[in-house]
Amino acid sequence: MTKDKEPIVKSFHFVCLMIIIVGTRIQFSDGNEFAVDKSKRGLIHVPKDLPLKTKVLDMSQNYIAELQVSDMSFLSELTVLRLSHNRIQLLDLSVFKFNQDLEYLDLSHNQLQKISCHPIVSFRHLDLSFNDFKALPICKEFGNLSQLNFLGLSAMKLQKLDLLPIAHLHLSYILLDLRNYYIKENETESLQILNAKTLHLVFHPTSLFAIQVNISVNTLGCLQLTNIKLNDDNCQVFIKFLSELTRGPTLLNFTLNHIETTWKCLVRVFQFLWPKPVEYLNIYNLTIIESIREEDFTYSKTTLKALTIEHITNQVFLFSQTALYTMFSEMNIMMLTISDTPFIHMLCPHAPSTFKFLNFTQNVFTDSIFEKCSTLVKLETLILQKNGLKDLFKVGLMTKDMPSLEILDVSWNSLESGRHKENCTWVESIVVLNLSSNMLTDSVFRCLPPRIKVLDLHSNKIKSIPKQVVKLEALQELNVAFNSLTDLPGCGSFSSLSVLIIDHNSVSHPSADFFQSCQKMRSIKAGDNPFQCTCELREFVKNIDQVSSEVLEGWPDSYKCDYPESYRGSPLKDFHMSELSCNITLLIVTIGATMLVLAVTVTSLCIYLDLPWYLRMVCQWTQTRRRARNIPLEELQRNLQFHAFISYSEHDSAWVKSELVPYLEKEDIQICLHERNFVPGKSIVENIINCIEKSYKSIFVLSPNFVQSEWCHYELYFAHHNLFHEGSNNLILILLEPIPQNSIPNKYHKLKALMMQRTYLQWPKEKSKRGLFWANIRAAFNMKLTLVTENNDVKS
């Protein structure tokens, strides 16, 4: 969550750490193809099968006891070598004479006692700390390491000019291991360090501090001391030790790690540092022993800006809480951090305080903290994370007398809202409020500061954002992730909302008009919700496509369908449903319109193609077939009776009887004519069907008269049907007179089709051409039939 005002103190806590990193550590990703990890392998020597192009080699935490030139010579491109936590006792720097690119060498935590020097020029990071050197292992050749940033050393004794060979170098970080330092009674040694930004001294972890060494550093900016064990007797020894180190005007950051002390000695250390130029004092892992009583302390003018104490172990069980809490509450500094401690309370300053930043993370404060406290008038940031707060109403009351408060963090508590009927009271200056990881419900929206700009409510028990809430017109950023919200909140009550985080909720059908109501939205994170990919989601997905990918964080990977099963796991960007399937009214109208168009089309086709006529024909044909199926099988087993059935118009009967019939009968072709072969008593249709079925061929005499005869079309229809039914080529078309295509009615489309698809014989007007016409007629009857006469006589 973006904060308008980031606490400055965080950056100062890590000033020295950044100095360590920048320019000293060479960073390589785990995926570096030239990095080899041989740590924790139980190695007793350097492997010989390492890749020649190895650049980063880690052989830490093994059992390697010595290094030889042959171990390193073939690794000409090596830049980083880690050999810490091994058993090396002797270091000959000539081992690395073929490793001209070596910049990072870590030999800490070995058993080194002696070093053999050799010219080297490439080191940036050299760590020889936590070894068994008696004197500081400094070679004159180190003076050529112009790029050296980090130097780690160990020694049992110190001499003032030990570091003279490197006095001209500008080091970023010096680590000096004095765990095995030999203490001489009533004798003080000296060590001069000319140029170093950060000095880190490590002492013996269990021994009382007794080192009497004057260490002077010209340009020291950060001082870090680790393993300090103090009591009331040796406290002055430690303060004297600090006197020389803290003399320079450049020391801004002082850090104590793993310090065990009495309360009295701690107060004396504070008093010593109060007038010093130190601006940032950090204490990590503090253990207080013996007793805690009220001690005199003069809060004189100080340059100290921030005090940070993290992880306090209090071994004093009966003590004056007033003495403890007053010491810190009355400090005249800007920033105070006391975290991960057993403090159950913090007193309100007696007079208007200089505090601008207070951080009491991971204590055991209750709702009574700073109750009716009117002296924190300059406080801008208050962090009460991970405490025992339970009542949001009381938290609001706590801020009432903090007129400068802008940032409040009460996350990771057990806060609940809705316990009180009256309205919550907040100082109006709050712009950033972190209420995450509590037990807050929907009612929290009725208990918020009116001018808040950034609100973090993630990981609570919120199911919905009530519509009737106090309008938070200044709210710009809202984080409600990891709750149980079922919809995206509109911007009706949050007119300035520009950042919304609502991932990991129960949003299944987000409102389609969200983006229309939130015009100022520049970032939204709504992924990892159980989206139901149904019609209700269609408009939302459509609107998402119109939003910039920079606005929609996590799109499309975090936006997936959860329901129905067929879509589960599918990205929302691939989800599409048609308008027709989602709009019932449109679907009904579409189906109705389609049916209407279909009905009109079918009716038009029926009229155009004379469908009733064909239906009537099919019906009559079916009836005739049904009667034929009722005839005994032996009666159906008969041969054809005629060679040909002739269909013609009565207007063309003269030509048929004078030309066609005489010629065919002269050729012994048996002809079926309706006027002589139709059976009286049967219907005309039945007679037509019977004559066609008993004839080998059907001859149609086509002319304009034929076109106008409906019965001729009946005969043509049934003959054509028989063509497909019997699977034989039984049609002969004779064109007696030309028939214009436009003269054939539309309903007789079969006639049109036959004349276009089949070859017909045209009756020639010239007598000279009629011989060929009759030859084609004869050719159509080129097979020998066994005909059955009406008297059942067989005739070949």
443 within domain boundaries:
no
267 within domain boundaries:
yes
Q: pTM of the prediction?
A: 0.72
CATH number at residue 36: 3.80.10.10
Instruction: Convert 6-68 into a string of H (helix), E (strand) and C (coil).
Output: CCCHHHHHCHHHHHHHCCCCCCCCCCCCCEEECCCCCCCCCCCCCCCCCCEEECCCCCCCCCC
Same-domain status, 309 and 173: no
Nearest to 66 by CA among 111, 123, 100, 109: 111
The single residue listed with the structure tokens 């020597």 is 45
Nearest to 705 by CA among 751, 648, 644, 667: 648
Same-domain status, 231 and 273: yes
Mind listing the pLDDT tens digit for each residue in 298-344? Answer: 998 999 999 999 999 988 888 888 899 999 999 999 999 999 998 88
Same-domain status, 120 and 211: no
232 within domain boundaries:
yes
Instruction: Convert 407-462 into a string of H (helix), E (strand) and C (coil).
Output: EEECCCCCCECCCCCCCCCCCCCCCEEECCCCCCCHHHHHCCCCCCCEEECCCCCC
Same-domain status, 179 and 212: no
Alpha carbons within 13 A on the beta-carbon side of 140: 0
CA distance linking residue 20 with residue 24, whole number of Å? 6
Phi-psi region of 714 (alpha: psi -120 to 50; beta: other; left: phi over 0): alpha
Same-domain status, 63 and 158: yes
Q: Where are the alpha helices (DSSP H) in 583-693?
A: 584-609, 611-630, 633-636, 653-655, 661-666, 674-677, 684-693
Nearest to 294 by CA among 314, 319, 270: 319
- Mapped onto helix, strand or coil, the DSSP state of residue 222 is strand
- Mapped onto helix, strand or coil, the DSSP state of residue 634 is helix
625 within domain boundaries:
no
Same-domain status, 169 and 29: yes
Same-domain status, 26 and 157: yes
Residues 313 and 286 sit within 8 Å (Cβ to Cβ): yes
Task: Identify the helix (H) or strand (E) that includes residue 263.
Answer: helix 263-273
Mind listing the pLDDT tens digit for each residue in 606-617? Answer: 766 656 655 655
The single residue listed with the structure tokens 């000279």 is 768
623 within domain boundaries:
no
Task: State which residues form the domain around 741.
Answer: 642-781
CATH number at residue 667: 3.40.50.10140
574 within domain boundaries:
no
CA distance linking residue 340 with residue 659, whole number of Å? 126
Show contacts of 534-538: CB within 8 Å, 24+ apart: 534/509, 534/563, 534/564, 534/577, 535/577, 535/581, 535/582, 536/509, 537/509, 537/510, 537/572, 537/575, 538/577, 538/582
Domain boundary among 141, 166, 192: 192
Domain boundary among 192, 218, 241: 192
Same-domain status, 284 and 218: yes
Mean pLDDT by 10 residues, the chain (796 residues): 43 48 43 82 94 95 95 94 96 93 96 92 93 94 93 92 90 94 78 88 94 87 96 94 88 96 96 94 95 91 95 87 92 96 91 96 94 95 96 95 96 91 90 97 92 96 84 92 92 89 92 84 92 85 80 89 86 79 73 86 72 55 51 50 86 87 87 85 80 84 80 69 56 83 68 69 82 81 54 48
Number of folded domains that form the chain: 3
pLDDT at 542: 81
pLDDT at 773: 82
Domain boundary among 310, 342, 374: 342
What φ, ψ does residue 56 adopt, rounded to 5°?
-125, 120
Tally of CB atoms within 10 A around 766:
6
Task: Identify the helix (H) or strand (E) that includes residue 226.
Answer: strand 222-229
523 within domain boundaries:
no
720 within domain boundaries:
yes
Same-domain status, 165 and 236: no
Instruction: Convert 476-528 into a string of H (helix), E (strand) and C (coil).
Output: CEEECCCCCCCCCCCCCCCCCCCEEECCCCCCCCCCCCHHHHCCCCCEEECCC
> What is the per-residue burial (b if ≥16 Cβ within 10 Å, else e) of 577-594?
eeeeeeeeeeeeeeeeee
In 673-729, DSSP assigns E strands to: 695-702
Residue type, 202: V
Same-domain status, 18 and 166: yes
pLDDT at 575: 82
CA distance linking residue 560 with residue 304, whole number of Å? 53
Same-domain status, 56 and 175: yes
Same-domain status, 167 and 219: no
